[in-house]
Chains A and B, each alone.
Chain A
Amino acid sequence: MSDTPNETLTGAQITVRLLERQGVRLLTGYPGGAILPIYDALGQSTAIRHVLARHEQGAGFIAQGMARVSGEVAVCMASSGPGATNLLTAIADAKLDSIPLVAITGQVPKAMIGTDAFQEVDTYGLSVPITKHNFLVSSTEELLDVIPRAFAIAASGRPGPVLIDIPKDVQSRAIEVAAWPEPGRRKLPAAADGMALAEAASLIAAAKRPLLYLGGGVIHAGASELALELAEKSTLPTVMTLMALGAMPVDHPLSLGMLGMHGAPYTNLALDECDLLIAVGARFDDRATGKVAAFCPQAKIIHIDIDAAELDKIKTAHVGIVADVGEALSRLLPLVPANPRAEWNARIDALKAEHPQPLPGVHDPRSHFGLIQAVAACLDDDAIVATDVGQHQMWVAQAYPLRRPRQWLTSGGLGTMGFGVPAAIGAALAAPERTVVCFTGDGSILMNIQELVTAAEQRANVKIVLMNNAVLGLVHQQQTLFYGQRLFASEFQAMPDFVAAARALGIAAVDLDQAANPCAALADAFARPGPCLIHAGIDAEQKVYPMVPPGAANRDMIGAQA
């Protein structure tokens, strides 16, 4: 507690002051009756800039974009009832991808809770299973404890979303504040077990065909460089999950890119042959492992994760280490002997040569892969790459040259269509010096298209590349491959004029289909500051290949031939 003269402040003023003391300078939300006291206090704050979204789900994903780019806890706000329920999808998404958020919702006054009051919903109950922790604040005094704790919980251990539901009377009541609590900060976890680290080092030293398997935890821990050092020292071929892309540059000689359902053929085949899998900050998600019994069937497993519940959840580890992965890797590094592994890496090179990732049309900017390459050619590694969810997301994951941590923002665990545009806006707000490109589809963009207005209002430097095939691509693909080509509810009968829609919502737009030189039109769009929608028609028959059918072993890929 720090010394300040006593002040009489409302719960709303206390909330805003505590956010200021946390260092929050930017937050996003959408006001409504039950959170108006906080908005009134927020309007008086000179330290905090509030970005008005156009839908509470948009606010949730804008906050996610801020958190994913900065690694810091981001804040979003909404009112009670529909405001809160609209936030839930973005909160659930943050839970599955371990993104640190603090969501603050207004609630009806305490005396009215349980009466089915106007815009009353059980926000606390609804958010229990999708938050890391949640609070229903029952007194103004409690705010002084709850708000710093919420930040500490969101940032500590495995990060995640924390919701604070604050009844309106708790916001309005004034109390005397004698002293302010310390801001809530990330608490350091216990150190990794030295014996287990030594055991891991000897397994690595003894392995003939080891693979390093990096997950999103490596990004969250800021441990990408350490992971790269370990890979280089022991010459470990390295696979990444969707969430870990960027941890190692994809064009690094040891990189095998993304594994799993849409991983490259050589990547999944290498996993089949490995005798040791070193999982770091990864959770053996079913999209990564395919049929678990057939995943790395010959391998012993070292599993390092900050969340003890992830060890042995899907695969039993021979050595399990609960720790911050950065701390664990920094202590593992000196224990692991340098090893050139010439034979194993020659085998990997042979797999790469024999079973490459198919990239049809990569030199044609009017094809899906060619468009992704042409966009990448307009940008450097400082750019941030966000996606929505669908075929375009997987194609970008397969083909974009991601080279640094926090360059890549995508909805991994929940796979939420509508993530891309608001997350990209949040990224642009948190990192205004960078260009943000958002790849999206004609299905996904419609799920949060109202946020184009937010982008226009904020002049966010977001370039939205809309890959329009007039179908729900992944649904179309699965119906074609696994449901007897019975296409149902996956082909859009009516298609908006997206270029006109973007302009109507206040942002510039360009149609590559009408451009004589699409590469020049792209370069032109990227050269102009501010938001822009770049529309490109693509072929609806193109599939995301290779594809491991749901429930199949990763070695059984469809469309693996180049």
Chain B
Amino acid sequence: MNAVSRNENQALSRAVLEIDVANHPGVMSHVVGLFSRRAYNVEGILCLPVGDGRQSRIWLLVNEDQRLPQMIRQVEKLEDVSAVRRHHADHAVFTDLEAFFQA
């Protein structure tokens, strides 16, 4: 078996979701609840307001799974979600944070 770099391994097994949402106290539980009820682990979460603060952007790092397309459709159905974009796991949003997560 050929050795794969960490990034390659992540790219094979993980995905990053970029989710535009309304910024209010319940929105995070709506989004992550869809994952937790399916026992689908969310590996990383990042959320900050954008623009005037009425909208937020949630970034999720999740495992690739055959259920992921269905998960994305379920997230898209949420009233507070305006857009979902899917990226590869090597997206800078999480890789640039690695320094903060050394054991």
Q: Does A562 contact B (CB under 8 A)?
A: no
Q: 17 additional contacts, CB 8 Å, given A128-B30, A132-B79, A312-B69?
A: A124-B26, A125-B29, A128-B29, A128-B33, A129-B37, A133-B78, A133-B79, A136-B25, A136-B26, A153-B79, A307-B77, A308-B73, A308-B76, A309-B76, A309-B77, A313-B70, A313-B73
Q: Of A125, A136, A309, which contacts B74 at CB under 8 A?
A: A309
| Chain B residues within 8 Å of A133, by CB | 78-80
Point out the residues of chain A lying under 8 angstroms from B78, CB to CB.
133
Chain A residues with CB under 8 Å of chain B are 124-125, 128-129, 132-134, 136, 153, 307-309, 312-313
**Of the residues B33, B73, B76, B79, contact of A129 by C-beta under 8 Å:** B33
Shortest distance between the CB of B3 and any CB in chain A (Å): 36
Residue of A nearest to B36 (CB): A129
Closest to A307 in B: B77
- Report B25-45 residues with CB < 8 Å from chain A CB: 25-26, 29-30, 33, 37
CB distance from A335 to the nearest CB of B (A): 27
Point out which of A125, A308, A309, A312 has the most chain B C-beta atoms below 10 A from its C-beta: A309
Decide if B26 touches A134 in the complex (CB within 8 Å).
yes
**Chain A: which residue is nearest B71 at the CB level?**
A309
User: How far does the Cβ of B28 sit from chain A's closest Cβ, in whole Å?
Assistant: 11
- Size range of the interface on B? 10 to 19
List 9 contacting pairs A-B, 8 Å CB cutoff, sorted by A. A124-B26, A128-B29, A128-B33, A129-B37, A132-B79, A133-B79, A133-B80, A307-B77, A308-B76
Give Cα A136–Cα B25 distance, bound, in whole angstroms: 9
Q: A125–B32 Cα gap in the complex (Å)?
A: 12
- Give the distance to chain B from A443, nearest Cβ to Cβ, in Å: 28
Bound state CA distance, A558 and B78, in angstroms? 41
* In the bound complex, CA of A209 to CA of B79 (Å): 40
B53 to chain A, nearest CB (A): 15
A309 and B29 within 8 A (CB): no
Q: Check A309 against B37 for contact (C-beta < 8 Å).
A: no
Contact string, B53-85, partner A, CB cutoff 8 A, digits 1/0?
A: 000000000000000011001101111100000
The answer for the CA separation of A335 and B79 in the assembled complex, in Å, is: 35
Docked pose: A498 CA to B26 CA in angstroms: 46
Residue of A nearest to B72 (CB): A309
Q: Which residues of A contact B25 (CB under 8 A)?
A: 136
Q: Give min CB distance, A536 to chain B, whole Å.
A: 41
Q: What string of 1s and 0s marks CB contacts (under 8 Å) between B1-42 and chain A?
A: 000000000000000000000000110011001000100000
Across the interface, A128 reaches (CB within 8 A) one of B26, B69, B74, B76, namely B26
Contact with A along B70-103 (1 / 0, CB 8 A): 1001101111100000000000000000000000
Cα A134 to Cα B30 in complex, Å, equals 10
Q: How far is the CB of A138 from chain B (nearest CB, A)?
A: 8
B79 with A309: CB separation less than 8 A? no
Give CA–CA (A129, B33) in the complex, Å.
7
| Separation of A220 and B74 alpha carbons in the complex (Å) | 21
Query: Could you say which residues of chain A place their CB within 8 Å of the CB of B30?
Result: 128
User: A124 vs B78: C-alpha distance in the bound complex, in angstroms?
Assistant: 15
A258 to chain B, nearest CB (A): 27
